Chains A and B, each alone.
Chain A
Amino acid sequence: METVIKTKDLTKKFGDFVAVDKITFEVHKGEIFGFLGANGAGKTTAMRMLCGLSRPTSGEAMVAGIDVYHKPEEIKKNIGYMSQKFSLYEDLTVLENIKFYAGIYGLSDKDIKEKSDELVEKLGLQSQVKKLVQGLPLGWRQKLAFSVAIVHQPKIVFLDEPTGGVDPSTRKQFWDMIYDASEKGITIFVTTHYLDEAEYCDRICIMVDGKIKALDTPSQLKQNYKVNNITEVFYQLARTAKRGDD
């Protein structure tokens, strides 16, 4: 199996505070890899290091076969990113947002045209293309933000708590989009604190106090901890946490 993300003892310190403490893991191509943890467990910091937004203090990391220390710029061409804020321009229309993001990834005019038509059709937003994003419901914005994050067909897409504030049925639809992308070979790296969503992942990694406490498929984890759902697994591990929410 092809490995697209590989880390060894990856660490990030902010002064004396160790946000991420020697984490080691691998993510395979096309996998949906879930990163779980309470607020302040270090999952966002870990993701930011892999995206090149934050420089690791020590340890090794390869993303899409590229070293994060030496060629962070090269990595950027191969990844997509969607933050919890959905990161669309509210005063631009749906189409303008798509074209802008496709544009800064350097897609050709022809590709931009094709991609945006395809995307709009898939999302069923034909009647909304000329409307400003600020008028869109949150669920649509979320789907649009995800589609925009993979518009340049990256190898890996990083989703930082992508379902925050969205109602359960829309979350389900969103996960359908994630499966779709995964089937096309895009690796999904997703952080979440909705524990039910963890069940949708191929493998999950639970972080507590900056360390990886568990890493396996959801069913294997449930078996190991002899419980019925991931929520139970998470609570057993989270109870050991010394850091509070921050």
Chain B
Amino acid sequence: MKQFFAFIKKEFSHVFRDRKTLLMLFGVPVVQIVLFGFALTNEIKNSNIVIVDNAKDMASQQIINKLASTPYFHIKKELLSSSQIDAAFKAGDVKLAIVFPANFYTDLLHANKAQIQVIADASDPNTGNTLTNYVTYIVADYQANLNATIKAPEQITLDTRMLYNPDLKGAPNFVPGVIAMVMLLVCVMMTSISIVREKELGTMEVLLVSPFKPLYVILAKAVPYLVLSLVNLTVILLLSVFALDLPIKGSILLLYGVSTMYIITSLSLGLLVSTGASSQQGAMTLSLVGMMLPTLMLSGYIYPIENMPMILQVLSNAVPAKWFYIIVKAVMLKGLGFSYIWKETLILFGMTIFFLTLSLRNFKIRLE
């Protein structure tokens, strides 16, 4: 055990001595998140919207005033009829249209059921989604106030339509994507390089001649990167909560648990890469081309998998980041529990076993 700690200490020294890599590891996710965060905020504030108020009653006016008083919307025009909406969208700078039906207030009071139609330009799905959510919150808030004064449980339902991209497929949820990417970068690339470096320098031979077991070499190499990845995860989560106002809806413990699973998957992949590469350069190329590209393209983080040709959809199943991306979205954004993500977690677990078996076999052969 003492030997093991001596080894881990040495690994940490390697990591901290290499300032450039360290800066990259922590800098890249921070820059990505901050950049995206600000780009996102600028776009969503002061969005132009149009309103068709067929009701022109107390309730519709109150909601319109509420909308106008937020920093998110700029009411560009109040249109006279729904037929003008299409033209307004085509003219370009309108992001959202809201339609109040005639008799809105009456419906609300007497039928206990009123409907507002929200039409969003979803060609940029994220903006469309966010704006619609804002409207939802504002209407819900209005309703809550109303319910506080009047006893009856009124119901305003929003009839939402996403123009141009009805299912919002591929809404780029940046944070889960960045997490999936960074973990992979740290674990696969750094681990494989650090193992291959020992081979290249000839220190691996000395380690193998020592009584220190090869399995421990691998474990001791994995520990610093596991720790580093968890620190990185924490930085990303803190940034997304405090800088992007993106709350973690699910259990944080579960999020860390599944992330640790994903990190272990990535580490075993790194180990596999290291058994296949004979130089640091080779390990880097193999991890960049073999891991980063498929992760970028096939994880669903940038390009929606549903829109891909069948063959790529099938291939995407072999990309661990795809499953992790689904898990993080479910836990972080939707607040779902383990019962919703156990399948994905099991898949990651299976992948880990597969990578480990393969690489331990290759590692043994290399000792000969």
Contacts and interface: CB of A to CB of B under 8 A. Distances in A.
Interface of A: 51-55, 73, 76-77, 79-92, 96, 99-101, 103-106, 132, 149, 158
Given A52-B209, A83-B205, A89-B10, A103 B17 contact: no
Contacts of A51: 209
Given A87-B201, A104-B6, A76 B14 contact: no
A243 B329 CA distance: 63
Interface in B38-66: none
A96 B209 contact: no
B6 A103 contact: yes
Interface string B7-24: 101100110011000000
B13 to A, nearest CB: 6
Contacts of A99: 6
A83 B202 contact: yes
B259 to A, nearest CB: 29
A82 B206 CA distance: 7
A205 to B, nearest CB: 21
Pairs of residues from A and B, 9 with the lowest C-beta to C-beta distance, nearest first: A103-B6, A85-B202, A81-B209, A76-B211, A87-B206, A104-B212, A91-B17, A100-B10, A87-B203
B3 interface: yes
Nearest to A73: B211
Contacts of B201: 85, 87, 89-90
B245 interface: no
Nearest to A145: B206
Given A53-B205, A100-B6, A104-B212, 10 more contacts: A53-B209, A73-B211, A76-B210, A79-B209, A81-B209, A87-B203, A91-B17, A92-B17, A106-B211, A158-B209
Contacts of A105: 3, 210-211
Given A87-B201, A87-B203, A106-B3, A92 B10 contact: yes
B368 interface: yes
Contact of A104 (B3, B205, B367): B3
Contacts, number: 79
Given A85-B202, A92-B13, A96-B13, A104 B209 contact: no
A101 to B, nearest CB: 8
Interface residues of B, number: 24
A101 B5 CA distance: 12
12 contacts: A53-B208, A55-B368, A77-B211, A81-B205, A81-B206, A81-B209, A83-B206, A85-B201, A87-B203, A100-B10, A103-B3, A132-B17
Contacts of A149: 206
Contacts of B146: none
A109 B2 CA distance: 9
Interface in B196-247: 201-203, 205-212
A106 B206 CA distance: 15
B7 A103 contact: yes
A14 to B, nearest CB: 10
A197 to B, nearest CB: 21
B350 to A, nearest CB: 32
Interface centre among A92, A103, A105 (most CB of B within 10 A): A103
